[in-house]
Amino acid sequence: MKTKNILRTLLTCAFFLGVLTMNAQTNKIYVYKADKTTVEFNIADIDSISFTAPATPAEVDYTKLVLNEVSGNNKFVEIYNSGTVDIPLDGVKLQRNDGASEWDGTSTDIIPAGAYRLILFNAFTAGLDANEAYVGWTVGSGISAGQVLKVAIVDPSGTEVSVFIRGDEPLPAWGSTTGVTSNTTDSYSRMSDGSWAYAAPTPGEANGTKTSDIVSPGYLTATPPPPTPPENVDYTKLVLNEISGTNKFVEIYNSGTVDIPLTGVKLQRNDGPVVSGSSGSEWTGTAADVIPAGTYRLFLFNSYTPADLATNPAYVGWTVGSGISASQVLKVAIIDPSGTPVSVFIRGDVPLPAWQYSTGVASSTDSYSRMADGTWAYATPTPGDVNGAKTSDIVTPGYLTAQP
């Protein structure tokens, strides 16, 4: 049946193009090209012929792969897929100490969206071999809680996309134990703001709260350089539209007439995580993140995903680790790739106390909502939709906006 279909296809080519001949005695096909050359094929070697180009594989955003927990005591590394689509691991590596040992992904290895996966070291499987996040991925050599250590996720191009280093600069040799304080109970755990600390082991689950800082030595993280943002994008069309401290979401609206790519764009809470004393956090857009013209998008905070928001069309998986509150002094800002704020909301009066200040702050179950005239007021939550009418003013304290 297959041979018949192939011959039918070839005869069709010959009929329409007049450039193909068949040699029945030798079972060969000759294709005469426009440049006067000839290509010869054995019929037995041809499986199928199509006039349709092969599908282009979807681009994979490996930056969504995040090192989430490293346990030198229980000998495992946990990887989290922070994206909204499954990520194939063919060509991806998990490296220890610049490749002193490593695990190599194959075409059958995948991390589903929002899922955790464990890689076990030194054949140590006690209590973990039955964990749902363990699917048989192992590395022969071990890792230790009492040594200078590096663990890195490396994408198929050789780029490190997530790195954890136990050690201070200047780094001694990998495996050095001199002066290393060991915690024989907790894991190295990634906190919601991207920093690392000790926390109780939670293999295959979200990390717990910090039990103590990593000291003697501390830790280093090396993140990839930010992607190059596209040119000639009008980021001022990105508008903070609704903020709910009760339901833990921020809504952004693209008020323009063209789609806006978010490569390098940040959504910051309280001046971001790198400013000392800000108690902040942030989300950073990648090349895969876009807000279509005239569209709303939701950011969920502190892994808060009630059913009506997790299924909301405006929610596409964008989350920020730490929470927001309806009863605290708060700042939320959209920052363009150049570092310029393009839309800002501040719950608080001048002079501002510290972020998260709660003394005397009046709270409401309504959202902070942007009105049609650009002012802010309380309104009934409308995630992913046009804001409703004002229910009351924001008072005690009020609000500030700092628009460019």
Q: Domains plus CATH for the chain?
A: 2-45 (no CATH), 62-220 (2.60.40.1260), 235-400 (2.60.40.1260)
Q: Retrieve residue 20's tokens.
A: 């193909």
CA distance 167 to 147: 9
Looking at the DSSP bridge assignments, the partners of residue 78 are 69, 118
Task: Record the tokens describing residue 193, joined without a space.
Answer: 């703001």
Taking alpha carbons only, the member of 273, 283, 71, 81 closest to residue 162 is 81
Number of CB atoms found within 10 A of residue 23's CB: 11
| Residue 272 near residue 283, CB atoms below 8 Å | no
Of 121, 114, 144, 117, which is closest to residue 131 (Cα–Cα)? 117
CA dist., res. 401 & res. 374, Å (int): 9
Of 97-101, 122-126, 188-192, 253-257, give the lowest mean pLDDT range: 122-126
Question: Chain-wide mean pLDDT for the chain?
Answer: 85
Beta-strand relationship, 93-96 and 149-154? antiparallel
- pLDDT at residue 51 is higher than 80: no
Tell me: cis bond preceding 351? Omega within 30 of 0 counts: yes
pLDDT 10s digits, 107-153: 999 999 889 999 998 766 667 888 999 999 999 888 999 999 999 99
Q: How far apart are CA 224 and CA 159, in angstroms?
A: 8
Mean pLDDT, range 285-292, rounded to an integer? 89
Buried b (16+ CB within 10 A) or exposed e, 134-170: beebbbeeebbbebbbbbbbbbeeeeebbbbbbbeee
Record the pTM: 0.52
